[in-house]
Structure 1
């Protein structure tokens, strides 16, 4: 946390959304080396509830003044288990006021989906529907990782899973992690040409949808190969200035948080100043629970 705070101070990062990884990678009996990443070997991954315990412990190490800058999200549950909402409720009741959102929930997530024990999680299954209703009850935003397609299909193969969730849960605020993209998708397909028109339609149709512009969206979407802002994306963000937010997606090590976020500056500079500030900070704060928003304002 000390390293993260130094990065925040050095790079003028006012607020941080903090969450754990909801799965852990198994070190299988047949693997000679501890895996550092889910794709490191063929062993499975499993849902890991202790991730929230670690996040809560890290948050409690901060001073009250430092805690004002951090916004913990709860993620350690199995999205295929209809007991998930009961677990989330227990966690919220154990630490009243600590958790300010739910997620990042993993559903469609490249090869990781196939490596996780059990069925492939879907954004529109009954277990998550129960979590979404709980999120609306507690006024919590939900950050959802749901890839828009697979590595091979050049069409929005899994879009229906997200869209059904948006339609059936209009009182739940959804942050779509990385706008449905991932680095693995980019490795196989480079640029998804249908992404921009799809986002345009979704934002027009569902006022409860917000878009996380993390590093997998930066290139090749927000900036072209020469580092120039894409006119279509600039136009879309200006059309929906309250619906986009920056994310670092930095995992495990915080020494590059500032550098990762600074890479967005050319795109932010292409926006009007007030819109750039909304995207860089204010939009995220605006979807936190209303009680937390009042505390920030005070």
Structure 2
């Protein structure tokens, strides 16, 4: 991994830091139990050293896994952590609270989930105020 970072790779991920509900990720043997599981804290330090972000898949977006995400953000303030598809089964207010509290947190927004998944309880426009409040902390993908 460090060899690739030394060669100019600009980030790591998507890393399965935790997954209970994803139809695919929840079934893989190599997923973590939380963002502080296993070697993840060491990987966060490597990311900080090389000044590269890490993209984490985390579900569900509440409870213990989010507590552990916050622990990771607090213990590794020089690591930029991107919360992958933060809008999936999550509210704009929850994302806002995390972004307000942790300057090293970024949010990956998967518009397709909110727009096309009947299980989404939000609309795309619900997230616009949070994106406007944190324009440099959002990464959006459409498909």
TM-score tier after normalising by the smaller chain length? 0.7 to 0.9
Asked if the contact 1:179–1:217 (Cα under 8 Å) also holds between the matched residues in 2, the reply is no
Q: Which residue of 1 aligns with 2:76?
A: 169
Task: Report the Cα distance in structure 2 between the residues aligned to 1:113 and 1:237, rounded to whole angstroms.
Answer: 27
Q: Which residue of 1 aligns with 2:132?
A: 238
The structure with more radius of gyration: 1
Task: Report the Cα distance in structure 2 between the residues aligned to 1:180 and 1:131, rounded to whole angstroms.
Answer: 25
Q: Counting strand residues as a fraction of each chain, which structure ranks higher?
A: 2
Residue 216, structure 1, aligned to residue 110, structure 2: no
Question: What does 1:181-196 correspond to in 2, within 5 Å?
Answer: 181=88, 192=90, 195-196=91-92
- How far off is 1:90 after superposition? 3.7
What is the total number of aligned residue pairs between the two structures? 135
Asked if the contact 2:16–2:32 (Cα under 8 Å) also holds between the matched residues in 1, the reply is no
Asked if the contact 2:16–2:57 (Cα under 8 Å) also holds between the matched residues in 1, the reply is yes
Q: Which residue of 1 aligns with 2:5?
A: 92
Asked if the contact 2:18–2:31 (Cα under 8 Å) also holds between the matched residues in 1, the reply is no
TM-score by length of 1: 0.41
Task: Report the Cα distance in structure 1 between the residues aligned to 2:134 and 2:32, rounded to whole angstroms.
Answer: 33
Task: Report the Cα distance in structure 2 between the residues aligned to 1:92 and 1:136, rounded to whole angstroms.
Answer: 11
Q: Deviations over 1:151-200 (max 9, x none)?
A: xxxxx22211211111111101111100062xxxxxxxxx55xx222111
Task: Report the Cα distance in structure 2 between the residues aligned to 1:164 and 1:180, rounded to whole angstroms.
Answer: 20
Secondary structure of 1:146's match?
strand
User: Which one is further off, 170-179 or 111-120?
Assistant: 111-120
Q: Which residue of 2 aligns with 1:207?
A: 103
Task: Report the Cα distance in structure 2 between the residues aligned to 1:134 and 1:161, rounded to whole angstroms.
Answer: 19
User: Closer, same or farther in 2 for the Cα pair 1:180/1:170, shift >3 Å?
Assistant: farther
1:108 is aligned, of 14, 18, 21, to: 18
Task: Report the Cα distance in structure 2 between the residues aligned to 1:119 and 1:100, rounded to whole angstroms.
Answer: 22
Asked if the contact 2:16–2:31 (Cα under 8 Å) also holds between the matched residues in 1, the reply is no
Q: Deviations over 1:226-282 (max 9, x none)?
A: xxx23xx2222222222112124xxxxxxxxxxx3xxxxxxxxxxxxxxxxxxxxxx
TM-score by length of 2: 0.79
Uncovered stretches (5+) of structure 1, i.e. residues with no partner = 1-87, 150-155, 182-190, 224-228, 249-259, 261-298
User: Closer, same or farther in 2 for the Cα pair 1:205/1:118, shift >3 Å?
Assistant: closer
Task: Report the Cα distance in structure 1 between the residues aligned to 2:32 and 2:78, rounded to whole angstroms.
Answer: 26
Asked if the contact 1:203–1:209 (Cα under 8 Å) also holds between the matched residues in 2, the reply is yes
User: Closer, same or farther in 2 for the Cα pair 1:114/1:141, shift >3 Å?
Assistant: closer
Asked if the contact 1:132–1:169 (Cα under 8 Å) also holds between the matched residues in 2, the reply is yes
